Structure 1
Amino acid sequence: MNRPTIYVTKMTPSIDIDYLLYGMEEEGIPSETRESTRKELISAAFEQAIKSPLGVGISVDEKKVVLHFKNLPEQEPLFVVTNEPESMMILGQNAARLVKCIPFKLDV
């Protein structure tokens, strides 16, 4: 059985995603970094959402971070934000809040 986690894909291995992970951890939801077979940022996030036991996937590249949910159309992610520490922290919190079904922080 898969552990209930949010799946995260780094499109470039050297990208620092600590603030993203801190946001999810702060809300009490675990995450796991995984490889993606997709080359495009939105598609990679959707792939992880489909595979995640929690139905939530995130992908990160040098400029953007995408949060996707398994019940949304593939090309319509929930959030797309810049790859900056504060934005990544809030996006991580919102990913966890999606799992917990509580209101989002809208400072993204």
Structure 2
Amino acid sequence: MQSDKTLNRPSIIICTFLHPGYEAKLREIQAGMEEEGVPWSLLTGEELDYIALAHRGAHTSPLGVGVGISPAGMCIHYQKLPERQPLFVLAGEEDVTEWRRFGYNAARLVKGLPFKEKQTDEAGTHLDTTQLYASVREIVLKVLQEFAQGHGEVNTWSKTP
């Protein structure tokens, strides 16, 4: 429970449903906000709906910005938006860089700066090293399998004297 004094100071309100793993999400979101220089306050909620939690935070925050965290995902809300139309939603994705980006973007909403977007490659696809590793592994295994079956033999060229 927060004191009224803490909730009245200019800060983004983070509303969280306490669940296993929320501490890691909270730590990354807070780090993103701190790197942008915007303070935050924490409230705990009994609701599982992260959109409702964020909406509550936005209406509690003197800055008008709230973040909701639940086991199902997280959300950034602005007080002037309808409850079911939040600004950003991250449903079920377990990605530490995305959690920190959420903190950056909540702070940037307050500061009026452009939002940080997902890192993308030249084709515009999201860069995910886990996915890249899995793709490379799959290709290498396929090449090795074809080679073992005799489909990938390499022709050697030799000079005849």
Greater relative CO, 1 or 2 (CA 8 Å, sep 6+):
1
1:57-92 per-position Cα deviation (integer Å, ceiling 9, x unaligned):
011112411000001011000001134211110010
SS in 2 for 1:34: strand
Identity across aligned pairs (percent)?
Answer: 36
Number of the residue aligned with 1:104:
115
Number of the residue aligned with 1:52:
61
Please say if residues 36 and 47 of structure 1, whose CA atoms lie closer than 8 Å, have aligned partners that are also in contact. no
TM-score normalized by the length of structure 1: 0.90
1:91 aligns with 2:97: no
Could you say if the C-alpha distance between residues 38 and 61 of structure 1 is closer, same or farther in structure 2, counting changes exceeding 3 Å? closer
Give the distance between the partners of 2:48 and 2:72, measured in 1 at CA.
15
Shift of 1:21: 0.4
Answer with 1 or 2: which has the greater Rg.
Answer: 2
Q: What is the correspondence of 1:1-108 to structure 2 with a 5 Å cutoff?
A: 2-14=8-20, 15-16=22-23, 17-36=26-45, 38-81=47-90, 82-107=93-118
Please say if residues 55 and 77 of structure 2, whose CA atoms lie closer than 8 Å, have aligned partners that are also in contact. yes
RMSD: 1.7
Considering fraction of residues, name the structure with more strand. Answer: 1
Size of the alignment, in residue pairs?
A: 108
Could you say if the C-alpha distance between residues 39 and 54 of structure 1 is closer, same or farther in structure 2, counting changes exceeding 3 Å? same
- Give ranges in structure 1 of 5+ residues lacking alignment: none
- Give ranges in structure 2 of 5+ residues lacking alignment: 120-161
